[in-house]
Amino acid sequence: MRRSRLLINVMAMTLTLGVCAVPLVDHPAATAQAPNGAPPFDLSDQKVIDEGARLFGQTCTHYCHGKDGGASRAPKLRGRNLEPGYVYARITKGTPNGMPAFGTAMPEETIWKLVAFVVSISKAEDR
């Protein structure tokens, strides 16, 4: 009980401070479960990707991920060709070695916007 309360406090502080706790660590895609539902919008829509980029800049950079999805404290996102279901699962369920789950801390629409952006940069050539 105490540990879960601590995790909730850390997640709340992370979101409040705009520090990323959404590192997408290297795990086989088979360990990630696809989301229960489909995205509420087209993930390739440039407006959705741009909103995801804005959210990513506010919540995922400066601590875990580099501004352009390069490696930082978390693995790089660029040049990995990540699947939307995999990214969604990582954000919502976290990882066993460091990334908290945000499925209950972020609205589903926000998570899907982040997915749209991360998938778009995952297809870009690594710098």
Question: Tell me, what's the pLDDT at 36?
Answer: 60
Would you report the helix, strand and coil content of the chain in percent, each value rounded to 5?
Answer: 45, 0, 55
> Is 71 part of any domain?
yes
| 17 located within any domain | yes
Mean pLDDT of the chain: 76
Nearest Cα neighbor of 115 from 86, 95, 76, 93 is 86
* Domain CATH for 36: 1.10.760.10
Q: Is the pLDDT of residue 24 over 50?
A: no
Is residue 127 situated within a structural domain?
A: no
Domain interval for residue 29: 2-122
76 within domain boundaries:
yes
- pLDDT tens per residue, range 59-112: 887 778 777 887 788 888 888 999 999 999 999 999 887 778 989 999 999 999
Mean pLDDT of 18-25: 42
Q: Has residue 44 been placed in a domain?
A: yes
Tally of domains in the chain = 1
Q: Look at residue 113 and tell me if it is in a domain.
A: yes
> Does residue 117 sit within a domain?
yes
* Domain presence at residue 62: yes
